[in-house]
Chain A
């Protein structure tokens, strides 16, 4: 079956630093990847839609200069949280796929101290 990986699975960084999260589709090519954020006891909220070779489309309220998305190939998208603050601490999940068939990664737990 289709597998999506995320790296790292957990990361702790200091306030003011940047951290990069990778999302890879391991055995298929994904035209579109989505980035979600999930706070404790809440649902997944879409942050941005990433299409290979073009600029990401951000949801309202998501700062594109803070959450940099690069979709360099059909198997890799990266999310960089710049100048991280404690309120950015969350569970970040990506999904990859084609049309309705979206496969979710295992998530990355970001803790900003």
Chain B
């Protein structure tokens, strides 16, 4: 049956501010990481990826930082907008196997 629900961590930010969402991954052998955005009732949407031979990658308004020493990943969103409100998941991959998803963080953008 359904397991006890986890309470998603929630990050509330003011519109226009920067957001930082953190994720601890589990497998030190993972070599590829993705941040996904999931809106209610929809599938995950790709935001940005990073390979393990990099520690930073920038996209449009988003930056991903990877710290392999402490197995930590972060997603920075600049000038957060109402449309950024969603649940964000990090996912790790080990040489082309399935993605393992983190627990998720709900981002709430305040007007």
Contacts and interface: CB of A to CB of B under 8 A. Distances in A.
Interface of A: 6, 34, 36, 39-46, 49, 87, 89-91, 93, 95, 99-100, 102, 104-107, 109
A106 B43 contact: yes
B104 to A, nearest CB: 5
Nearest to B6: A42
Interface stretch (B56-64, B75-83, B95-103): B95-103
A72 B38 CA distance: 29
A95 B36 CA distance: 13
Contact of A43 (B41, B43, B93, B101): B101
Interface string B71-111: 00000000000000000010001001011111110000000
B43 A107 contact: yes
- Chain B binding surface SS class: loop
Interface in B25-54: 32, 36, 41-45
B8 A104 contact: no
B3 interface: yes
A44 B101 contact: yes
Contact of B43 (A46, A90, A105): A105
Interface of B: 1-3, 5-8, 32, 36, 41-45, 89, 93, 96, 98-104
Given A93-B43, A99-B96, A100-B32, A39 B5 contact: yes
Given A89-B2, A95-B99, 7 more contacts: A42-B5, A42-B6, A43-B104, A87-B1, A93-B44, A99-B96, A100-B96
B39 to A, nearest CB: 10
A24 to B, nearest CB: 13
Given A49-B98, A106-B43, A109-B41, A41 B93 contact: no
A41 B5 contact: yes
A87 B1 CA distance: 5
A30 to B, nearest CB: 13
A39 B3 contact: yes
B78 to A, nearest CB: 24
B102 A43 contact: yes
